[in-house]
Chains A and B, each alone.
Chain A
Amino acid sequence: MSTVNRALFAILIIGFVFLGLFLGSKIEKNFELNPVVADNATTSVVVAGAAPAFTDGPRENPTSSTSTPTDAGLNVTFNATATDANGDQYYLIVCSSATATPNNNAAPSCAVGSTTWCVSGAVASGAANTCATTTNAGWTEINAWWGFACDKSAGSQCSAGSQGTGEPGTPFMVNHKPNFATISNDGPKDPGATITITANASDTDTASPDTVSLYICKSNDWTTTSNCGAGGQWCATTSKASEPSCSFAIPDPQAHGNVTYYPYVKDNHNFGATGTVQGAAATFAVNDVAPTVSNVTIHGGEDIDVSLGGEGPTGNVSVTSSADVTDHNGCADLVSATSSFYTTEIDAAGCTATNANQCYYNTACSVNGSCQSSITYSYVCTSTFYYHADPTDVGSYWESSTWKSKVFASDGSTMASSTVGTGRDLTSYTALSVSSTINYGSLAIGDIANGTALPKTASVYSSGNTGVDLNLSGGNMTGTASTTATIAVGQQKYATSGVAYSAATALSGTPTGLTIGVLKTTTTASLSSKFSYWGLQIPTATFADTYTGYVIFTAVKSASSTW
């Protein structure tokens, strides 16, 4: 660094030093302005008998303002600091008017006709002083005030009234409880439906103006700060001028009957409402909705085959129907389900009592599986169909009909039902029952003449669900002792009545129709039947022996018109 540069650098440093000193002196001068003012005040207090003066406040602490009013019943506290030139103690008094009256060596009072909000005790000059007043619901919302500092001396004097400044200054605000007169709802409603609960509530405070909020709690656990507690909330609405109402969807499922709730109202300053309704248990009503039945099936979508259960009085098969039953009051609300099975010939309306032909009525159903989504049970209903249930398949008398099922469900108060969409056929079952033998007894040649009425009978029963005719055939009868001895098959004759032997039909090896016309059985315990009549004429020169033959009784479904 050259000498010149060094010199310049030194000059620069010196310059900065001087600049610093100059600025420092300026700042010092500025700070000395206040003491100059104090000097002026001190000069003024020198006058004897002067009133104390506020050096801080007066103010509300905490602030009681439009936005932060003081709830009725709570205190409004005033703070102030004053000094007395004579070093006397001083009182703080807050009045509703601009005039305070000093009392020598005693607490001051407010002017006659005004309200003394509060008076403090005497404190030393320069010390902070405080007084408080307890608000009550009877006070007006807006309350003006003037604060005074009055010295405690023989010649007591009060300062000029001060209303403070800004929000902590006059007035103080009293927040009143909202009025909550009644609570109501537009129920009863169905589960899942929207219900509205309305409170007859409002707030008299108009400065803000105050609004009201409604909380509908599930339990009695509401607080002004946290609202509904752990029990949960049905609904809430906030910041309403009056008549707050809120809505919510009733749970689905929901048991029918009254559901308890707890209503609460507060204003926008979190001040809970007054009145007996606040937090008192109330209820909304849920309707007892009817169950619904869906997805009805019959016999798993299969045709019904009664032959699987066998023929005759004991012949029966199980036929099922199934359905989903839904109750929005919950599965527990479902009481029972039943089913009817019927032909479309009579339809559901005609099926009012079981007759085993066209109608199987009031079959009990049982729950199949667990409750789905808390609202739906599957039911299965099993009925016993007898062998003579009416067929509806092709060629049957009821060909144009089908079998259907209808499922009824009850929740104890209402009944619902639904019918399977597509019916199923019940197939024709042609079955017969015949005595095991035709025993002609002991016959001699000529015992059965041409004019003799057919002496023997064989009963033919319809043990299925159709009318029955016969095809009859047989073979020659053969001797027991002499196997070569025979009686021709045609010597056996038959008819549908006891006609003369000559008028009857000779049995042959070829199946031959006999329109015997056994009707369809309609009563479970009693098979429909007809007699077939038989006779055997022994030809001349027949070897004496015991002869045995056979007759084939073939059941033929008779014309449906004859059933």
Chain B
Amino acid sequence: MKNQKLKILFVFLLPFFLVINALDCYAFGISPPYIYNDTLVTGLRYEQRISLSRQDDSLDDRVELQLNAPGYESWISFDPGMSFIFPKGQKHMYLKAIVQVPNDASYGARTGTVAISITSEKDKITGGSNVVLGAQVDINLNVTDKKIYDFKVYSLDVPDSYQSEPVFVAIGIENLGNMDFGPSRVVFEALNALGNQSMASSEVSVDIPTAGPFERKEIKVKIPSIKLPEGGYWANVVTFKGQDKVDERKLFFNVLGQRPEPIKTWDDESPQALAQSREYMMYKAGFLILLSIILLIILSALIKKIKARKATKLQTENKPAKKEIPQIVKIEKIEVAPEIKPIRPKVIRKPKPVQFPEQDNSNQQPPETK
């Protein structure tokens, strides 16, 4: 029978190994395999990076995302998108998941998944099933009306400062809550270079910057009352959340000599310095605008004057008869004081000769033109 003889042939293009070495396989992974936040509040934007990695970077691979977020798909978007290329030569890239909780979102938990697959053209066979790899991102979100105020310190630094200038503390804080938040108090103690003698201490509890919800941020706290002479010091910095001590660290810093010249340092990027800079720029801009207005007024006045002169000249050229009478009168006036010299420059400005009526004026001075 024809059907009995029918054989379906699958061509083996590659040897098949029962036990394969992992290095001969495709590999793909994600970290972390979740989008997780259980303290979202309405209106909040939350971002999370997901690292994508692959073993073989010899070709461009296409990455496809399939979002399964029933009822809240619109909250979630991805950068660089739902489908993109994992570029050749790159074994690792980031995918950013952005959760925008609507203002009218109801409270409660949401779960879902994002299936990420990566399709490679490499070693594709004809015959059999090609393996496409993927990884699943679990979504666990919870919208709550509970306001969470919490943070932790992930880094602390006391940058070198200049003599007679305030000391700054750079505190890396990770806001674990869903509200703007930061340290309530920072206690700074400067010790001598040996760390065994207190040189100065101060406490700052106002104007301490905060970090946005779930944000990691390095905030700069100015310790205004501590100005130390040149030298090396130890700083003991205690960070408080309310009345609770969150972090305490002791680290070395230097006070340099006098600031050599006004160079830009991170100090200059302090809010106060930036505000001053903005104010200065506004003054500068205001002055320039004022100067421009004055120049414009002068320029327009000059243009007006020039236009008026041109108009007068045209009138003189087109209607000479009208000028006859006053010119004659003036000539008569000059007759009274013949010793007055004519003003030559004005004559030069008007090179065209003025037409006079035909009469005998040989004994008269040339008429002054205006």
Contact = CB atoms under 8 A, between A and B. Distances in A.
13 contacts: A300-B155, A306-B31, A307-B31, A324-B251, A372-B254, A421-B247, A430-B135, A431-B30, A458-B131, A464-B31, A474-B129, A555-B29, A555-B135
A437 B14 contact: yes
B126 A548 contact: yes
B25 A435 contact: yes
Contacts of A87: none
Interface residues of A, number: 83
Interface string A519-563: 000000001010000100010111011111111111111000000
Interface of B: 3, 6-12, 14, 16-20, 22-34, 36, 51, 53, 55, 91-92, 115-117, 123, 125-136, 138, 152-155, 172, 193-196, 232, 247-252, 254
Contacts, number: 260
A409 interface: no
A549 B129 contact: yes
Contact of A434 (B117, B131, B195): B131
Interface stretch (A41-49, A93-101, A164-172, A441-449): A441-449
A275 interface: no
A412 B139 CA distance: 53
Given A376-B252, A438-B128, A547-B8, A461 B25 contact: yes
A134 interface: no
A324 B252 contact: yes
Contact of A308 (B3, B51, B250): B51
A551 B132 contact: yes
Contact of B27 (A324, A441, A458, A463): A463
Nearest to A326: B195
Given A422-B247, A428-B33, A444-B8, A310 B22 contact: no
A427 B31 contact: yes
Given A555-B134, A556-B136, A310 B251 contact: no
B7 A431 contact: no
A552 B134 contact: yes
Contact of A433 (B55, B248, B250): B55
Given A444-B6, A544-B8, 17 more contacts: A307-B29, A307-B51, A312-B27, A324-B251, A372-B254, A429-B31, A432-B28, A433-B26, A434-B131, A439-B14, A439-B129, A459-B25, A463-B27, A545-B9, A548-B125, A550-B131, A554-B134
Interface in A365-408: 372-373, 375-376, 378, 393-395
A422 B153 contact: yes
A297 interface: yes
A295 interface: yes
Contact of B53 (A295, A310, A443): A310
A302 interface: yes
Interface string A289-318: 000001101001110011110111100000
Interface string A445-470: 10000000000011101011010000
B188 to A, nearest CB: 15
A211 B232 CA distance: 43
Given A297-B155, A422-B153, A555-B29, A459 B20 contact: yes
B136 A471 contact: yes
Contacts of A221: none
Given A464-B31, A477-B129, A554-B134, A442 B7 contact: yes
A249 B340 CA distance: 101
Interface string A57-86: 000000000000000000000000000000
A328 B193 CA distance: 11
B8 A443 contact: yes
Contact of A395 (B34, B125, B247): B34
A307 B7 CA distance: 46
Contacts of A302: 154
Contacts of B133: 432, 434, 552-555
A52 to B, nearest CB: 75
A440 interface: yes
A401 to B, nearest CB: 16
B152 A422 contact: yes
Nearest to A461: B22
Contacts of A204: none
Contacts of B18: 457
A434 B25 contact: yes
A557 B129 contact: no
A313 B22 contact: yes
A436 interface: yes
A557 B31 CA distance: 10
A439 B123 CA distance: 13
B12 A441 contact: yes
Nearest to A394: B36
Contacts of B34: 394-395, 428, 557
Given A294-B251, A435-B17, A551 B129 contact: yes
Contacts of A394: 34, 36
A395 B36 contact: yes
A339 interface: no
A389 to B, nearest CB: 11
Contact of A439 (B27, B125, B136, B154): B125
A252 interface: yes
B128 A463 contact: no
A459 B36 CA distance: 30
Contacts of A457: 18
